[in-house]
Structure 1
């Protein structure tokens, strides 16, 4: 399993300069004209989300993150085998104050959330999560999990673009772009091969009970490469 992690790490480097220009749009919502009818609201009341100034604002739910957490999701025609890229701009409007408070985008299937790209409060600081993974051991010891370093990078409350790439039964978390148009690689993982449906969701959880913490999503976009 760890050896496979190394091979994925090498492959993931190939995506650092990947752009969406060559991929047709599968679904897009800039929230300029309200919420697309393709979105499904799960576990949120009408007071928990709003369209404001051309963006989608969502109240951070007080319950901790789980597969059943409230979300706004869209089911789309692709499989784990396809080449799909999802991106969304994420801004934190009210400072996170609770442990594990988070906001992000998730790859989902019929069983719930499987892979995330998020901003999360960990040890009283705001980080991009999951962390990046790097091998730090000697050659030949790739099967020892202790030879891997998991590095959390600081996140900003300001707008940052979070991206999930689906490539041949694997998912990759990226953030960017920088001034050169490149995205930074973070976490990556194998994903389920036999899901009956696929899509993405937007989610914000872990706020203190009774808190009024809001986050903002904008420029949600999913593209799929056509062979």
Structure 2
């Protein structure tokens, strides 16, 4: 007996044996929402619930919308769900003679928070079945609705400067790029030539990835236009010409197939429209043309076209470009600061220094505040002779918790001098005893301590202090998760100060460092 026949028999057996379960209890390990990685690596989603003593299931399979499955039931400790596919059977002239209905079966087993699934799908030509295995992860319960009035924001980031596509790339480099910068506008023109083979155009995403944020932009949708703004690459805010079509999750401003707008605020096609979107704790708020149309609503899972199904992974902003022409401008993202951090002190270096700083060996000619950052020239010298070291008393008692000191460091010129460096220095009893810096060592830029390679111009440095223990961390381009460079011990407290500084610069050239977003926070345990 060949394998195809075995698969068909297994499929038929499941269809016959399985029966709905009555009285399922909350302890049923299948109940809940699952983030799927479907065959081929795409994003999917499965929800299993109990309704009137019976199981029900909804699924998202790659693209499109969430759909209800035809059936869901238990076969002993195995979950079995089905969905139906209707196929037109036509004659040689293309006339539909009749319809065939095929039943696709998905069989699932749970182990803790992991689901192992098998898809058994008949081939529509009636010659065998396809069998695919894939996995899912349980999605944790949604947190309470966040208090947006107490949200703290970082510094706004201009994602598109109007002149070029720097910082953007296609989600799939094999597709054709229809995007360009024209007169301050990000334009997509996915043109097709009549009589020619259809050209597949690409979606455009930021190279940077983000966690929670506020996103503001303007968009102009032509007649019959269709695009989308994906938040962290997983939740699509629908962009489409749907004026006067009613309130639907597939219309302008809705979370595609998930959340319908509560009000109509769309302008006619061809007019610029404003969007103000806040994503926080898996809740979303959407303002369209200064009117709230989705108010802090929970997101149950990814939407069709998501890059992945993991809702806790940092991700890009991506703009759908495979449907129609579209125009965007004034795209600005403002990160939301993590709530597990209580900011004790911060200085964004806007116009002047915050109170409490002092200079060591100040040279006013080689330091300045410009464009929202502190710029210091990297002068010759070593730790004990450094010039323009900016110092302040550590604003916490080490015994009272866990703290983080952050600063973003950018080289405006490529370092050339051996041991040329910039970053954070810890002072103990008036002397420098520890540094977390980006440093040129033997021709290679690296994070010290730890000697971690670091080639990007910008890096966010984080010194975590927990009692006398430290963790030296960094994030290239101030994006994604922090990486640990080294751990160790600090001296016992004695007039602790922290400094941002740079030194070992060349004599014959001007090298400058930009220090940005200095912050001291208390971390939750």
| TM-score normalised by L of structure 1 | 0.75
Counterparts of 1:41-56 in structure 2, within 5 Å, are 41-56=359-374
Looking at both structures, which has the greater relative contact order when contacts are Cα pairs under 8 Å and sequence separation is at least 6? Answer: 1
Q: For residues 184-224 of structure 1, what are the alpha-carbon distances to aligned partners after superposition, in whole Å with 9 as ceiling and x for unaligned?
A: 111121111131x2231011111122321101010110012
Q: Relative to 1, partners in 2 of residues 1:51 and 1:192: Cα closer, same or farther, differing over 3 Å? A: same
**Could you tell me which of 396, 411, 422 is aligned with 1:103?**
422
Check the 8 A contact 1:86/1:163 in 2, yes or no.
yes
Partner residue, 1:156: 455
Question: Secondary structure of 2:445's partner?
Answer: strand
Answer yes or no: is the 8 Å Cα contact 1:80–1:170 preserved in 2: no
Q: Deviations over 1:43-85 (max 9, x none)?
A: 121112100101100000211x224423111113323434210
> Do the aligned partners of 1:95 and 1:157 also contact (CA within 8 Å) in 2?
no
| Alpha-carbon distance in 2 for matches of 1:175, 1:124 | 20
Secondary structure (helix, strand or coil) at the match of 1:96 reads: coil
- The match for 2:499 among 158, 182, 201 is 201
CA distance in 2, matches of 1:43, 1:58: 13
| Residue deviations 1:152-194 (CA, integer Å, cap 9, x gap) | 2221342210100001211111012799942111112111113
Distance 1:67 1:224, change over 3 A: farther
Aligned length: 187
2:435 is equivalent to residue 116 of structure 1: yes
Q: 1:178, 1:41 → 2: CA distance?
A: 27
Unpaired runs of 5+ in structure 2? Answer: 1-336
TM-score scaled by length of structure 2: 0.34
Aligned residue among 444, 447, 452 for 1:125: 444
1:192 paired residue among 491, 498, 502:
491
Verify: 1:69 aligned to 2:400, yes or no.
no
Q: Does 1:211 pair with 2:491?
A: no
Shift of 1:27: 1.0
What SS is found at the alignment partner of 2:449? strand
SS in 2 for 1:24: strand
Map of 1:82-101 to 2, 5 A cutoff? 82-101=401-420
Q: Note the aligned Cα RMSD (angstroms).
A: 2.3
Q: Where do 5+ consecutive residues of structure 1 fail to align? A: 1-18, 132-151
What CA distance in whole angstroms lies between the structure 1 residues aligned with 2:383 and 2:350?
30
Cα distance, 1:41 vs structure 2? 1.0
More helix, by proportion? 1
